[in-house]
Amino acid sequence: MTRFSIKRYLPRSLYGRAALILLVPIVTIQLVVSFAFIQRLYEGVTAQMTQNISVELELLLDIVEDAPDVALAGEQVTAAAEALQMDVVFPGTVVAERRRIWDLSGRAIRNTLAQQFDELRAVDMVSLDKTVQASLDTSKGVLDVSFARRRVAATNPHQLLVLMLFTAILMTIISYLFLRNQLRPIRRLARAAEAFGKGRHEPYYPSGASEVRSAGAAFLNMRARIERQIEQRTLMLSGVSHDLRTPLTRLKLGLSMQPETEETKALIGDVDDMERLIEAFLDFAKADALEELERTDPVAMVSEVVANAQRAGRRVELVTDAATAISMKIRPLSVRRAVENLINNAVRYGTRARVEVAVLETALRISVEDDGPGIPEAQREQAVKAFSRLDASRNQNAGSGVGLGLAIAADVARSHGGSLRLGDSETLGGLKAELILPR
């Protein structure tokens, strides 16, 4: 059985929830006050005013009962009713019982008159505008009495409701403006954090309440520490890799001057492997470098990378659904390096690769598939970590590496606020690596 949860119907944003916290008490107070107002004014006050006019109706009934005949009773009751600002017809006919369903004060008038007079036959509050007509039985006939509705019901009762509604709207607007000013620093902090997560450096200055300022200052300190660590790591890897080039070059030159033997060939191969490892270290260091974002056509860039791979003799095909050129902000060198690493991995561990570029509504998806052995699902999380080499699943004899290809692609994706997903290729049967970049 599915449990009912109110959370799914609540706003997800802080702004929406704060507005809900603001509006719910106001609306609740308005409903409670309105109900109490209607209960007291339309029933209590109306009943009290109707009881007051009942005294005058009692007087008219007494005049009719005390008169010796019908004619004299008519004259006397008409004169008394005129003094009381009422209209009477005696002898009259019973009026039709008429009252609107939504007329709360009319219901109170009818009930109060029925309690005061057993002689009450009917009450009509619809036929004549703003007038109450009542028919009362007497020993000499029916007495029809008409009097103004304002004498038994409060006049302009809607004014209080209108005033309450106007005040509620005014206070809601004031609270909304105040709330927006309080939430604006939080939204600015969220945008700055989101931009930093996507590799962008958005200017941010702490503002707002003291708690928000503290959070903003902590974010700035954290961002500065992360940037310093990235810079130090990049400089360290670049420096070490650069310094290793000189002795490797001397080794390679010295070995090339030696007589060509099986041993010297093996040593030269080892030096070449070390040079490739150094290149991988440099690529890994450059992946964290804070390259500026540029407006670039990623489809054209991937097409160029695939064309270069094809000229190098690799079996790589390109599939794209982009009919026209697109433009999005990316770090072109980093993305190019990531795609090259994915293609190199694909052709190293397989015989051919398939590159697909899909332009989605909110993201760009670059998929690289191969026909190699693939990576088991349990080891895919480990595969994207730096210096990870899965010998059991990816044949190490198929090519040398240091385990940085997927790590570089994953770092590039994260620096753009995206991700690298590994799966099984339905087309070629090997590994499928998807580089997701938000647009």
Give the chain's domains with CATH numbers.
Answer: 9-155 (3.30.450), 189-290 (1.10.287.130), 291-438 (3.30.565.10)
The identity of residue 422, as a single letter, is L
Locus of tokens 């619809």: 126
- Whole-angstrom Cα distance, residue 108 to residue 48? 10
Concatenating the DSSP letter of every residue in 22-51 gives HHHHHHHHHHHHHHHHHIIIIIIIHHHHHH
> Nearest 5°: CA angle at 263, between 260 and 269?
90
pLDDT digits (tens, 9 = 90+) for 413-430: 887 778 888 888 888 888
Alpha helices in 92-209 (DSSP H): 104-116, 158-197
Q: Identify which has the larger pLDDT, 258 or 346.
A: 346
* Total Cβ atoms within 10 A of residue 266: 11
The DSSP line for 224-273 is: HHHHHHHHHHHHHHHHHHHHHHHHHHHHHHHHHTS---HHHHHHHHHHHH
Q: Range with the lowest mean pLDDT among 44-53, 102-111, 304-313? A: 102-111
Contacts of 432 (CB under 8 A, 6+ apart): 367, 368, 369, 422, 423, 424, 425, 426
CA distances from 374 to 109, 173, 409, 410 (A): 87, 60, 17, 17
User: What pLDDT, in 10s, does the model give residues 311-359?
Assistant: 888 888 888 876 667 888 888 888 888 888 888 888 888 888 899 888 8
The SS3 call for residue 357 is strand
Report how far apart, in Å, the C-alpha atoms of 285 and of each of 143, 180, 231, 280, 340 are.
105, 43, 9, 9, 16
Say whether pLDDT at 290 is over 60.
Answer: no
Q: Any residues with CB less than 8 A from the CB of 4 and at least 6 apart, and which?
A: none
**C-alpha to C-alpha distances, 49 to 16, 52, 108, 195, 224, nearest whole angstrom:** 47, 5, 10, 69, 76
Decide if pLDDT at 82 tops 80: yes
Q: What is the CA radius of gyration of the chain?
A: 44
Q: How far is CA 127 from the centre of its chain?
A: 55
Read off the tokens for 251.
């080794």
- SS3 for 3? coil
| pTM of the model as a whole | 0.51
The pLDDT of residue 394: 47
Which of 123-127, 168-172, 406-410 holds the top average pLDDT?
123-127
